[in-house]
Amino acid sequence: MKTIEFIENLNIEKSVNYRKEKDGENYTELPEFRAGDSINVAVRVIEGEKERIQNFKGIVISTRGSSLNKTFTIRKISNGVGVERVFPVYSPMIQSISVLKSGNVTKAKLYYLRGMSEKKIRQKLS
Amino acid sequence: MKSAILGKKIGMTSIFNDKGQMIPCTVVEAGPCPVVLVRTPERDGYNAVQVGFEKVKPTKVNKPLKGHFEKAGVDYTRYLKEFRDLESQVTIGENITVEIFKVGDKVKVSGTSKGRGFQGVIKRHHFGGVGMTTHGQSDRQRHPGSIGSSSYPSRVFKGLRMAGRMGGDKTSIRNIEIVGIMPDKNLLLLKGSVPGAPNTLLEIVKL
């Protein structure tokens, strides 16, 4: 098990180094956040040769896993359609994460938001 | 070029590749494997290389084997295996390490699969079970069905697939990609899963 931990830590380091090298001065450390927070994730999108940044803004509804396998799920409502994306926290494809608003919730998993309208979610989280 | 090494399964994890995708991989501690014997057609009738793996204390080795190891001038090892018709040139006493591979190579991995105990035909042979739950057969959904005709042949054919002990057999998986090598720790990262539980002895052959 020690060997597995070693490899996972090595890969976390590698991912951080990749981001440092890629972004140079723009590099920011990932902030801490939890379920209920509204965050913005800047994701690298590779289209053929070119690379650009795409923003994904929404509410964190769950975080799971540990070490390298840690992921979080963000939900947003886009043109009336609910959209969810799962990101590995240590993915080299994440350029930066910024916390826009911290939520006031008592649960670790906010799956109950899935059945709610935008207005209701706003009331629930404030 | 055919080359081979012995290893031990450590466990599974995942890594990111250069596209940022998460790749599931198995960690294998492979080598260093000392060459104990080289078999030649003149002397033994076939080509093979005998290698050892995993160093052990002298008290763990019996006298005949001690002599065998000492003749080659190598450390005592827990396992001894022969690989036939290796194309890489090796001499007695030399150590085979993970450096014989490079990232991107395809290998064949053989090991003993996890024992599953006594299992029915659905799990063991992928039978479909007896179809319906009505017409009087609500109690045999996972059964094998018919096992043959009646008066002719009046017996059950040999080798008919039935329930029984499953797993614990030698299993090989071909075309496993090597996604990482750490020569300083004797570690290999193989894409996907390999047979067996952690600590299983594995044969890794590059074809």
Which of B8, B17, B19, B22 to mutate to test binding with chain A, by most A CBs within 10 Å of its CB? B22
pLDDT band with cut points at 50, 70 and 90 for residue B26: very high
Contact A59, A120 (CB under 8 A): no
Residue of A nearest to B182 (CA): A7
B111 and B191 belong to one structural domain: yes
pLDDT band with cut points at 50, 70 and 90 for residue A9: confident
Are A4 and B16 a contacting pair at CB < 8 A?
no
Are B10 and A69 a contacting pair at CB < 8 A?
no
Q: Does B23 touch chain A (CB under 8 A)?
A: no
Does any domain span residue A18? yes
- Tens of pLDDT, residue by residue over A51-69, are 888 999 999 999 998 888 8
Residue A64 C-alpha from the chain's centroid: 11
pLDDT band with cut points at 50, 70 and 90 for residue B9: very high
- Mean pLDDT, chain B, rounded, equals 89
Q: Is the pLDDT of residue B166 over 90?
A: yes
The pLDDT, as a whole number, for residue B114 is 94
The pLDDT, as a whole number, for residue B1 is 75
Does any domain span residue A113? no
DSSP codes, B100-153: G--TT-EEEEEEEPPP-EEE-HHHHH-------SSTT-TT-TT-----S-STTT
B97 and B121 belong to one structural domain: no
B122 and B66 belong to one structural domain: no
The whole domain housing B145 covers 117-158
B84 and B57 belong to one structural domain: yes
- Mean pLDDT, chain A, rounded, equals 86
How far does A119 lie from chain B, in Å, by closest CA? 35
The pLDDT, as a whole number, for residue A1 is 65
C-alpha angle A21-A24-A27 in degrees, rounded to nearest 5: 100
Q: Does B10 touch chain A (CB under 8 A)?
A: yes
B72 and B134 belong to one structural domain: no
Does any domain span residue A114? no
The pLDDT, as a whole number, for residue B131 is 78
Are A8 and B13 a contacting pair at CB < 8 A?
yes
Residue of A nearest to B180 (CA): A7
B61 and B142 belong to one structural domain: no
User: Taking CB atoms and an 8 Å cutoff, what residues of chain A touch B20?
Assistant: 44, 91-93
pLDDT band with cut points at 50, 70 and 90 for residue B173: very high
Are A7 and B189 a contacting pair at CB < 8 A?
yes
> What CATH number is associated with residue A10?
2.30.30.790
Contact B30, B51 (CB under 8 A): no
Are A11 and B16 a contacting pair at CB < 8 A?
yes
B111 and B45 belong to one structural domain: yes
The pLDDT, as a whole number, for residue B107 is 93
Query: How far apart are the C-alpha atoms of A8 and A30, rounded to whole Å?
Result: 18
How far does A100 lie from chain B, in Å, by closest CA? 25
B79 and B138 belong to one structural domain: no
Higher-pLDDT residue of A124 and A100 is A100
- Tens of pLDDT, residue by residue over B100-155, are 888 988 999 999 999 999 999 999 999 988 878 888 888 888 898 889 898 999 99
Residue of B nearest to A3 (CA): B10
Q: Is the dihedral of CA A24, A26, A32, A33 positive or negative?
A: negative
Q: Is the pLDDT of residue A26 over 80?
A: no
Does any domain span residue A118? no
ipTM for the complex shown: 0.76
Q: Which two tokens stand for residue A52?
A: 């650009």
Task: Give how many domains chain B has, as a whole number.
Answer: 2
B174 and B137 belong to one structural domain: no
Q: Is the pLDDT of residue A4 over 90?
A: no
Are A91 and B16 a contacting pair at CB < 8 A?
yes
Closest partner residue to B11 (CB to CB) among A1, A46, A88 is A1
Closest partner residue to B27 (CB to CB) among A4, A44, A92 is A4
Among all chains, which residue has been given the structure tokens 């033994």?
Answer: B44
Average pLDDT over residues A70-99: 90
The pLDDT, as a whole number, for residue B31 is 77
* Sequence-ordered strand ranges (E) for B122-169: 164-166
Which of A41, A75, A70 has the alpha carbon at shortest distance from A59? A75
B170 and B85 belong to one structural domain: yes
| Interchain CB contacts (distance < 8 Å): A and B | 39
The pLDDT, as a whole number, for residue A56 is 92
Q: Does B27 touch chain A (CB under 8 A)?
A: yes
Task: Give how many domains chain A has, as a whole number.
Answer: 1
Does any domain span residue A20? yes
Closest partner residue to B10 (CB to CB) among A3, A44, A69 is A3
B45 and B104 belong to one structural domain: yes
The whole domain housing A50 covers 2-106
Are B20 and A11 a contacting pair at CB < 8 A?
no
Are B20 and A3 a contacting pair at CB < 8 A?
no
B110 and B189 belong to one structural domain: yes
